[in-house]
Chain A
Amino acid sequence: LKNARSSGKLRLQKWYTATAERDKKKMVRELMQIVLARKPKMCSFLEWRDLKIVYKRYASLYFCCAIEEQDNELITLEVIHRFVELLDKYFGSVCELDIIFNFEKAYFILDEFLMGGEIQDTSKKSVLKAIEQADLLQEEDESPRSVLEEMGLA
């Protein structure tokens, strides 16, 4: 699972294993407590249940990733960083509000970057280009309608 949150509010969450809604909520609450309690000087890894949690703080947002025993913690930090870079490039100096008001876009980026918990493409350029193109497709959808609306014919 992967989530981004700030001061106790969840902004994004992605689960790659089927989990009951109730359990998800419980786990998120637990994790939030543990991670928010960490002091700034502590290391970015902690053990939780039978998983390892890798977290990194960017301004007011905490990004957390739960990985398995055999996964590489240090590279996970890089994965988190890459995701933040993608957001940053897309939104232009991303801040928390961007993610709040455009959460669906943040999800689109995440889903273009990772699938099933694994990286789809290691090239930043590639991921961003795909998002751009998809956004264009979306605009093509919408523009005819808005023209008609303007004309009062919709």
Chain B
Amino acid sequence: MPAPIRLRELIRTIRTARTQAEEREMIQKECAAIRSSFREEDNTYRCRNVAKLLYMHMLGYPAHFGQLECLKLIASQKFTDKRIGYLGAMLLLDERQDVHLLMTNCIKNDLNHSTQYVQGLALCTLGCMGSSEMCRDLAGEVEKLLKTSNSYLRKKAALCAVHVIRKVPELMEMFLPATKNLLSEKNHGVLHTSVVLLTEMCERSPDMLAHFRKLVPQLVRILKNLIMSGYSPEHDVSGISDPFLQVRILRLLRILGKGDDDSSEAMNDILAQVATNTETSKNVGNAILYETVLTIMDIKSESGLRVLAINILGRFLLNNDKNIRYVALTSLLKTVQTDHNAVQRHRSTIVDCLKDLDVSIKRRAMELSFALVNGNNIRGMMKELLYFLDSCDPEFKADCASGVFLAAEKYAPSKRWHIDTIMRVLTTAGSYVRDDSVPNLIQLITNSVEMHAYTVQRLYKALLDDISQQPLVQVASWCIGEYGDLLISGQCEEEEPIQVTEDEVLDVLEGLLVSNLSSPVTRGYSLTAIMKLSTRFSSVNRIKKVVSIYGSSIDVELQQRAVEYNALFKKYDHMRPALLERMPIMEKTASNGPTEIVQTNGEAEPSVVEPKHPPPVGQPASQGNDLLDLLGGNDVPVIPTTMPTKPASAGGELLDLLGDLSLGLSLMAFYLFDLSKTVNFLSIGIPPMTAYNKNGLKIDFTFERANPNPNVAVITIHASNSTEADMTDFVFQAAVPKTFQLQLLSPSSNVVPALNQGTVTQVIRVLNQQKQQLRMRIKLTYIHKGSAVQDLAEVNNFPPQSWQ
């Protein structure tokens, strides 16, 4: 059999292949040759063959059949064989293959070999890919080598120990004695690897950390020598002595000084020295400064030092080198919470970075800018940020828009400015605005009562320009639906009022319905808006016509709404005004995050209002019309709804349904809602009860079980006032026996209007794990006709179903 071709020749040959297929052919041929060579147990050429295999492996071809051959090479006496064998082991084997364990014995022998380079190979392989079993078996050998006087081996043993500890943390203890005089070494290699080892140990074990704190003075001394000593050609990099070691020491100091006053104090001077004396013209110096800054910020440094650190970062921001700027922004982002004022000083530089070409830098600058916005700089900052929003890449727009909304909400200097800012965002980045911003924006708008006319006017004008940006269109249609009357009447104070007729407004809204650009959600909004205008405009017939057209729309959502609205026109016209009345100001109890969900019905989204009827209703409703039938059956004046007070944040689904959020004051109105939720509720059927009725104040309780926890009874109180004067400052409090747990959510309002014109509702959740009879003591305080009234009462007449 001819000698297998040499490695170089193979490489050359493969590189001549012009196509992938040709290459594959060559590889396959060679692999076959190698395989047969392996089968023949040829010792001479094994090394060459494995080397070739490794090359082919790097090109992406399978090479697992060479694994055992690597082991044979490792076991060979020849250094060349071992070198390739160990390399092969590192490239082809890892702890996932059982085969690797066979290496253990070889490595053990080689760790004790007479030639240090063989020992080195063994240590390296173990330190790069050793599995936990291997590490356990060989830790003793490594520990021995850690104590040798041979610095070549000592440094490798140290890093090998690091790997062992990473794989088998319990073995950390055994290396402790050997660490005793590691730092007294002169050899930089040993010093460097020792610091790495110490760092690893301190990071993993608080005991070790405490133990090694005493090394701080020694570390400080070593660092000092590095800085002060003259030029050392062996370790010099651009005029700095062994920057790698410096950085490593700084990092270890950081870990040791964190949270410890004494250690931190001991390192203050050296940190200041490094910070001021290091050359900054090249990357090396800056790398050291960077590490120094990180250390200063993490330990308990004195304020002067911290300011120094932040100023270094500020200088970094002005550096031409992008990498330096990037690193500065990242670090500033980490420190902006704790050292806010110091970072503020560099605000203008940070804002300039928004204009940088590099994507990563822009993103960091944006995040940092938002973190720096406060009441004083809001106007200036917002100008920059809006400019950024206009010109930035699409990937930033959503985050930037959300950030702008948040900042505006927190620091808006005036309501008008706030509305203007929102408008600006909607018109420039409208399609990137997050869906959940729409309800938030609507809530903001309703709260700026005096700006309603201005807002609706601006939104209307924006719609005339462009109907493609869905969030804008949704907010606009909602507003027009709510405040269309203000639009028509031309009442705007803030700017020149526009002359708009009812027909023009309806044209616009109808246009949205038919446009291809509108999403189904948007269509829902516009239909509802049109409907609402039926109580605000006089062109009711036109509206009726539009609504009935959509009663046969293909879109189920639209159809359902249209059908219900139609029913409203036909059968319940007397309710229509009340239903479509102006929305009250919504209370927002939480701005983001998980919110208190009262009636979940097993679903994650907060459910919309469900009307509760005082008389128990047994029939499940299956379609929209059916429910209205139920209502239609009573001639009682519009039944007060009980509304759970829910915070306003939540998915667009809420708004999808109606374009309304139900919060705040309870209205004499029903909101059409997702019927599946009603069905669930109606089938519960716990009868409501009157809990208190005195001096004209009547408090009713209605019940529901909260999913998923059936032990929680959700009670909604309805307070109504039959006297001629309002009851203001109304506060309801409740207490339950010890075996229960009570949670009281916010009330809908604290004014109970006179003559039963409205009710105040509030939700109580009672956890009744022991299923005991529910009892409650309530306390009521309010002001009536100028005098304060207070009353206590016991409520004992809970229906059995509420607590069983």
Contact = CB atoms under 8 A, between A and B. Distances in A.
A48 B39 CA distance: 43
Interface in B5-64: 7-8, 11-12, 15, 44, 51, 54-55, 58-60
A93 B81 CA distance: 28
A72 B247 contact: yes
Given A20-B96, A138-B83, A115 B128 contact: yes
A126 B95 CA distance: 31
B156 A104 contact: no
A119 B44 CA distance: 35
Contacts of A108: 83, 87
Contacts of B79: 134, 137-138, 140-141
Nearest to A125: B234
B541 interface: no
Given A41-B357, A43-B360, A45-B360, A116 B128 contact: yes
Interface stretch (B158-166, B400-408, B503-511): B158-166
A77 interface: yes
B80 A104 contact: no
A42 B359 contact: yes
A77 B323 contact: yes
Interface string A113-140: 0011011111111100010011001101
A12 B90 CA distance: 13
A118 B247 CA distance: 13
Contact of A75 (B117, B128, B189, B291): B291
A73 B330 CA distance: 11
B192 A119 contact: yes
Contacts of B131: 18
Given A43-B323, A75-B291, A130-B120, A18 B83 contact: no
A150 interface: no
A32 interface: no
Contacts of B323: 43-45, 73-74, 77
A104 to B, nearest CB: 6
B382 interface: no
B159 A116 contact: yes
A123 B156 contact: no
Interface string B69-86: 000000000111101100
Given A77-B287, A104-B54, A121-B189, 13 more contacts: A11-B58, A72-B251, A75-B243, A77-B283, A78-B283, A103-B54, A104-B51, A104-B84, A115-B123, A116-B166, A125-B234, A126-B189, A138-B80
Interface of B: 7-8, 11-12, 15, 44, 51, 54-55, 58-60, 78-81, 83-84, 87, 90-91, 94-96, 115, 117, 120, 123-124, 127-129, 131, 152, 155-156, 159-160, 162-163, 166, 188-189, 192-193, 196, 234-235, 237, 242-245, 247, 251, 283-284, 286-288, 290-291, 294, 322-327, 357-361
Interface of A: 10-14, 16, 18-20, 25, 41-47, 72-75, 77-79, 82, 100-101, 103-104, 107-108, 111-112, 115-116, 118-126, 130, 133-134, 137-138, 140-142, 145, 154
13 contacts: A18-B96, A18-B131, A19-B94, A72-B251, A73-B323, A78-B287, A79-B244, A100-B11, A101-B11, A107-B87, A121-B155, A125-B234, A134-B120
